[in-house]
């Protein structure tokens, strides 16, 4: 177990290092930098610009910059944001926390809906409810995230059911703790709905396919013959047998939801990584961009790692296979 874990960890670590190198390589392609716009300002002397570039080490060769950036990562800074005049890591952490909060909630909710719906649909495969679900997931699949998010936004703005934009009301600090939770939930409703709706159709389809494949198995027929109740049969016997592909899907779904949340955060002005990253791109604040990309990679890698662990725990075949190797 430990060896398997360590190998996965080492792999994940190398992946993150690779992504950081890739991100740095792309920075060499970047024409211009954060201080270029100041050249237009007649009140700033050219020497000042040269000095500024030297101060932020933008004039040094790439490998040196990478090494000094690695050094600052080790010191918990992840480079320096030009626009905020502060180390990147604390800035990113606040936003990453919000993104993580949104994504984790949406992931859990989407799976909580997809599992029963998929099982229910698989049990009635080919019959009317199953076909309704198939068609509605196909329709939902054809509506892209952007249209979904904007549609929800238009709807809410016109009806005023939920607050739009931001994560908290203006008077958030003065609310009692119960009202704080309520306020947060109301603000989350819209982005979470958009994320869940965009992730749901694929999850439902895969759960349905995986369970349907297992349902024909002889061991389930035997279990049914023993008089085991239908519900126990489905959730205690069929679902674990179908779990293997679904757990890998869980890892993938985290990546999909991260990508989805990037866009939805911008549309719904959720104070997460999305708007922050966009702002940094427009300002050429390169260390923030690199940091943001790296954070998202870490999330995704962590999600896949979690899925691997889950798989190891759920599927005895993998355990024996690894042990015998």
Which residues ranging from 120 to 139 are in contact with another protein (CB under 8 A)? 138-139
Which one among 45, 112, 147, 222 touches another protein, defined by CB under 8 A? 147
| Region near another protein per CB under 8 A, out of 65-73, 231-239, 277-285, 313-321 | 277-285
Cα 316 to Cα 207, 241, 259, distances in angstroms: 20, 11, 32
Complex with another protein: residue 129 or 144, whichever CB lies closer: 144
110 binds another protein (CB under 8 A): no
Tell me, rounded to whole angstroms, the distance of Cα 224 from its chain centroid.
40
Rounded Cα distance between 200 and 148, Å, is 13
Residue 238 φ then ψ, to 5°? -75, -45
Look at phi and psi of residue 136 and say left if phi exceeds 0, alpha if psi is from -120 to 50, else beta.
alpha
255 binds another protein (CB under 8 A): yes
Complex with another protein: residue 188 or 267, whichever CB lies closer: 267
Complex with another protein: residue 209 or 223, whichever CB lies closer: 209
Helical residues (DSSP H) of 162-285, grouped into ranges: 177-215, 218-225, 230-232, 239-241, 243-267, 273-283
Q: Decide if 87 contacts 79 (C-beta within 8 A).
A: yes
Residue 176 beta carbon to another protein: minimum distance, rounded to whole angstroms: 29
Which one among 9, 30, 51, 132 touches another protein, defined by CB under 8 A? 30
Helical residues (DSSP H) of the chain, grouped into ranges: 2-29, 46-55, 62-74, 88-123, 128-142, 145-159, 177-215, 218-225, 230-232, 239-241, 243-267, 273-283, 286-314, 316-324
301 binds another protein (CB under 8 A): yes
Residue 45 beta carbon to another protein: minimum distance, rounded to whole angstroms: 25
The 190-219 contact track toward another protein, x by CB under 8 A, reads: ------------x---x--xx--x------
Complex with another protein: residue 105 or 248, whichever CB lies closer: 248
247 binds another protein (CB under 8 A): no
Helix-helix angle 88-123:243-267, to 10 degrees: 130
Q: Decide if 300 contacts 250 (C-beta within 8 A).
A: no
27 binds another protein (CB under 8 A): yes
Residue 265 beta carbon to another protein: minimum distance, rounded to whole angstroms: 11
93 binds another protein (CB under 8 A): no
Q: Copy the structure tokens of residue 212.
A: 């349907």
Which one among 44, 54, 67, 281 touches another protein, defined by CB under 8 A? 281
Tell me, rounded to whole angstroms, the distance of Cα 255 from its chain centroid.
5
Q: Which residues here bind another protein, judged by CB under 8 A?
A: 15, 18-19, 22-23, 26-27, 29-32, 138-139, 141-147, 150-151, 153-154, 157-158, 202, 206, 209-210, 213, 245, 248-249, 252-253, 255-256, 258-260, 262-263, 266-267, 277-278, 280-282, 284, 286, 289-290, 292-293, 296-297, 300-301
């Amino acid at each position: 177990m430990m060896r398997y874990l360590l190998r996965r960890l080492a792999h994940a670590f190398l992946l993150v290092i690779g992504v950081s190198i890739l991100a740095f390589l792309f920075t060499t392609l970047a024409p211009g930098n954060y201080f270029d716009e100041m050249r237009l300002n007649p009140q700033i002397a050219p020497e000042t610009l040269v000095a500024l570039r030297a101060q932020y080490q933008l004039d040094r060769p790439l490998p040196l910059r990478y090494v000094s950036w690695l050094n600052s990562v080790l010191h918990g800074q992840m480079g320096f944001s030009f626009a905020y005049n502060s180390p990147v890591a604390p800035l990113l952490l606040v936003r990453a926390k919000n993104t993580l909060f949104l994504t984790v909630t949406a992931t859990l909710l989407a799976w909580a809906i997809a599992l029963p719906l998929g099982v229910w649909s698989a049990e009635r495969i080919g019959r009317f409810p199953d076909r309704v679900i198939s068609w509605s997931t196909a329709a939902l699949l054809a509506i892209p995230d952007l249209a979904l998010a904007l549609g929800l936004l238009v709807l809410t703005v016109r009806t005023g059911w939920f607050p739009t934009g931001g994560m908290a009301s203006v008077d958030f600090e003065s609310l009692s703790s119960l009202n704080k939770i309520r306020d947060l939930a109301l603000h989350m409703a819209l982005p979470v709905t958009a994320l869940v709706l965009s992730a749901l159709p694929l999850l439902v389809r895969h759960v349905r396919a995986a369970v349907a494949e297992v349902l024909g198995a002889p061991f389930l027929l035997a279990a049914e013959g023993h008089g085991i109740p239908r519900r126990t049969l489905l959730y205690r016997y069929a679902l674990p047998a179908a779990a293997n592909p679904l757990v890998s899907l869980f890892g993938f779904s985290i990546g999909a939801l991260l990508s989805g949340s990037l866009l939805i955060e911008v549309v719904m002005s959720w104070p997460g990584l999305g708007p922050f990253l966009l702002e940094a791109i427009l300002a050429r604040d390169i260390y923030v961009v690199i940091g943001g990309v790296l954070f998202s990679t870490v999330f995704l890698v962590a999600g896949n790692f979690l899925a691997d662990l889950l798989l190891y725990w759920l599927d005895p075949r993998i355990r024996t296979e690894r042990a015998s190797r």
